[in-house]
Amino acid sequence: AQSVSQHNHHVILSEAASLELGCNYSYGGTVNLFWYVQYPGQHLQLLLKYFSGDPLVKGIKGFEAEFIKSKFSFNLRKPSVQWSDTAEYFCAVTSTSGTYKYIFGTGTRLKVLA
């Protein structure tokens, strides 16, 4: 079955700490991978995406993610978090062919302490 697992449901960090959020997927075939962010009371916004090429992708606001095909992983990282990064983060996967149906993880709620 197709699925996305986000291992950390809640993460609390102090400002300037480094962040890594885990994402593993189970999805047959070649995939596209995404990270979305949802700030409190808002809708989801695209943070970064991987389609092909360099497995290290950079997104907005200093976020990056690394695609490791052998581990079926797409972990999100940021070297130094800010209070404004407090949000919920969702990993998503879809096939590069066929119906282009997205599957989302259950999300990781990040709280950054000032």
Partner 1 sequence: NAGVTQTPKFQVLKTGQSMTLQCAQDMNHEYMSWYRQDPGMGLRLIHYSVGAGITDQGEVPNGYNVSRSTTEDFPLRLLSAAPSQTSVYFCASSSRNYGYTFGSGTRLTVV
**Residues 6 or more apart from 78 whose CB is under 8 A from it?**
18, 19, 61, 62, 63, 64, 85
Rounded to the nearest whole angstrom, what is the least distance from the CB of residue 77 to partner 1 in the complex?
Answer: 19
| Region near partner 1 per CB under 8 A, out of 12-20, 22-30, 73-81, 101-109 | 101-109
Place of tokens 């990282």: 77
User: Which of 19, 24, 25, 34: binder of partner 1 (CB under 8 A)?
Assistant: 34
User: Which of 44, 62, 64, 77: binder of partner 1 (CB under 8 A)?
Assistant: 44
CB atoms within 10 A of CB 72: 16
Rounded to the nearest whole angstrom, what is the least distance from the CB of residue 46 to partner 1 in the complex?
Answer: 4
- Residue 30 corresponds to which tokens in the numbers above? 């070649």
Distance in angstroms (rounded) separating the CA atoms of residues 112 and 102: 28
22 binds partner 1 (CB under 8 A): no
Residue pair 9/109 in contact (Cβ under 8 Å)? The answer is: yes
| Region near partner 1 per CB under 8 A, out of 19-27, 67-75, 78-86, 97-105 | 97-105
Under the rule (CB under 8 A), what is the footprint of partner 1?
Answer: 6, 9, 34, 36, 42-46, 49, 51, 90, 92, 99-107
